[in-house]
């Protein structure tokens, strides 16, 4: 079997001949929000349930607080949306899978698999351009969120654990966490997964409306100039 059944009851084909048919990969924001709210980050190695949905909302909030454009805020919310279908694999595990497949004389199997489904989701929401345009900013903000998560919801201790190269540990340009949130607080811990499902959906539609409003204004302005 090479397909999964989403929470809405649709069959999403991950690979195989059936995946080539029209409609073989149905994508919906409701499925994405639900799935991501139940998928834990860090392979579950967190001090409390910490989902990809909560991570995505955090990334979007970081972009908002930095005064970044709405398009980038949307990209941050949706940068891991494909994991609703591929699931979340920790960065070290992704490297390991790619190394194993390369060692067997193949290609970077996980990266190829993930890229296909990320592209599917981004095409569905018409986000290819924003992801291409903000590639470096997306990576930067994602790492800030990672540094914040490591500080607040993992068992990482600088004196006991190895450095995280991705965060430039022990370097002058180390990635620093934000200081305006404590992900490990009792209040944050008491929030249910359903809250993050709804928060993800609400944020999506808020940003979508803002983007569409901006387009309307731009079209009207262009008409006035013409």
- For the chain, what are the domain ranges? 29-90+127-225
SS3 assignment, position 4: strand
Query: DSSP letters of 11-42?
Result: EEE-SSGGGGSTTSS---HHHHHHHHHHSBSG
**What is the model's pLDDT at position 107?**
84
Q: Dump pLDDT digits (tens) for 113-141.
A: 999 999 999 999 999 999 999 999 999 99
CA neighbor of 91 nearest in space, from 112, 62, 111: 111
**What is the model's pLDDT at position 88?**
93
CA neighbor of 26 nearest in space, from 36, 39, 14, 11: 11
Q: How far apart are CA 45 and CA 33, in angstroms?
A: 21
**What is the model's pLDDT at position 2?**
94
Q: For residue 209, what are its two tokens?
A: 């409306």
CATH architecture of 29-90+127-225: Orthogonal Bundle (1.10)
Q: For residue 146, what are its two tokens?
A: 């990672």
Residue 223: pLDDT above 90?
no
In percent, the amount of the chain with pLDDT more than 90 equals: 90
Residue 192: pLDDT above 90?
yes
Q: What is the C-alpha radius of gyration for the chain, rounded to an integer number of angstroms?
A: 19
């Amino acid at each position: 079997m090479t397909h999964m059944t989403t929470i809405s009851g649709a069959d999403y084909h991950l690979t195989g001949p059936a995946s080539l048919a029209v409609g073989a990969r149905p994508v919906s924001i409701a499925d994405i929000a639900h799935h991501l709210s139940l998928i834990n980050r860090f392979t579950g190695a967190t001090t409390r349930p910490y989902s990809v949905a909560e991570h995505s909302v955090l990334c979007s909030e970081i972009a908002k607080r930095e005064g970044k454009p709405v398009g980038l805020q949307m990209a941050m919310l949706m940068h891991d949306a494909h994991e609703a279908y591929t699931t979340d694999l920790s960065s070290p595990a992704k490297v390991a899978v790619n190394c194993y497949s390369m060692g067997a004389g193949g290609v970077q199997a996980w990266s190829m698999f993930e890229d296909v489904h990320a592209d599917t989701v981004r095409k569905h929401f018409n986000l290819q351009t924003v992801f291409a345009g903000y590639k470096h900013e997306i990576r930067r903000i994602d790492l800030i969120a990672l540094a914040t998560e490591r500080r607040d919801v993992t068992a990482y201790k600088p004196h006991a654990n190895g450095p995280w190269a991705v965060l430039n540990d022990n370097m002058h340009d180390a990635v620093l966490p934000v200081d305006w949130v404590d992900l490990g607080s009792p209040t944050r811990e008491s929030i249910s997964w359903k809250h993050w499902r709804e928060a993800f959906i609400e944020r999506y539609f808020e940003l979508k409306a803002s983007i569409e409003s901006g387009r309307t204004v731009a079209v009207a302005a262009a008409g006035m100039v013409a």
